[in-house]
Structure 1
Amino acid sequence: MIRFIDTFRDRFGVELICRILGATARGFITSRGYRAAKTRTPAARTVRDEVLVEEVRRVHAANYGVYGARKMWHALRRAGWDVGRDQTARLMRLAGVTGVVRGRKPRTTVPGSIPDHRPDLVMRDFKAPAPNQLWVADITYVRTSCGFVYTAFVIDAYSRRITGWATRSSMTTEALSLEALEHALNTAQGSTDQLVHHSDYAEDFVIPRNRALARAGTDR
């Protein structure tokens, strides 16, 4: 509460802030209590925290801003500060610093081992005169609490509507890309006889089930 009043006292005044908030917050600090708190000698923990927070910021900056709570705790102990790990985490929150989370970034594009000679049927022109004339596809990834998952989308170039999608924990053509394409074909409205499916996937999309899927295999 003291910090809140300090922030807005120059704009509204201490008495007005305490009077308005006191009407809705039972037991809220009064203007007399605020002034008493401001003149009261700071607690030993508060004084020590102020010193340690500056030390945390210094150590964090000296180590390229990558230290988390565990490494920061060891660094402070080496510097002679008697602090615990939980206390270090609290001080880092007060200092507004965090560690870098290391991890391998998922790859959604992998170069093929052999040249891709399939023709570009659309010649990089991603415009369509009508629905179900051109579908374009891509893969992305989403971070979840259980790790990364890959998601494939099929988008109609005419309406920009997502016509099919699939989500998997692994990025394989059969389990992800083709599933998204099959989903789009199964839910498509209208004829798909003139459909071209364009993607940057490294593997061929040849499924001899219908003409749309066969044509999809001719474009990369």
Structure 2
Amino acid sequence: MAKKYLITRSQKSLPTRLLTRLLQQQTDFINLTELAPLHLQRKQIQLIKSADILALTSGFALQCIQPFFQNSAKKPQLAVISTRLQLLAQKAGFDSVLTSRSEQQDSLATMLRARMYARKRILWLRGDLSDRYNPLNLNAKNWQALVVYKNSVTYLQALRLAHLLQVQDYDKILVTSNSAFERIIDIDPKLSADFVSMSYKSAHLIQSKGFNAIAPKQGQQRLEAAVKLLLTDS
């Protein structure tokens, strides 16, 4: 019997090479990461503009700040967690971009704790759920954090998720955020599916709730590696 999979991202957000493999299987897609920028006050915008380094772990955070530097000749240095984000930042006109060794917040934080950045004003740009799932230790005097976007799911998305979990018996579910996992188990706390997550930290959270979970090794391209784990038994 063919295995059934669920992925908490939209089809259009996946690279063609991954989507082709997934569509050869019985795979459902649902976007449970609906992001929206927050309206920032003048003081918050000034905080962004005056930073020496802007640290971001999300491509959406980059989208949120782009308008503030659209007509600016001088742009801050960015610090990001992946080469994909680095390329997006450079395409957006940010020439100086630091990239962490692995696609993890902890790796980026370790890099920015280096002595050479001790006198730099570093501002972490985060989402409204970041502190809940990926707490950041702001013990460095030169570090600050600012929430620039929020995560929400529409009523129709919630209804569709409930319907999918009711009518499908999934073998594996690839969750691309901790909030997506929690939304799933809120609907079906006795779910029998195994989970694939995007990081060890997320896998540990899922395991702590009593579910089986695996994650890509550090240093791999996370999304591609997670899809390969999802399809391992295919």
TM-score (norm 1): 0.28
| Structure 1 or 2: more strand by fraction | 2
**Structure with higher RCO (Cα < 8 A, 6+ apart):** 2
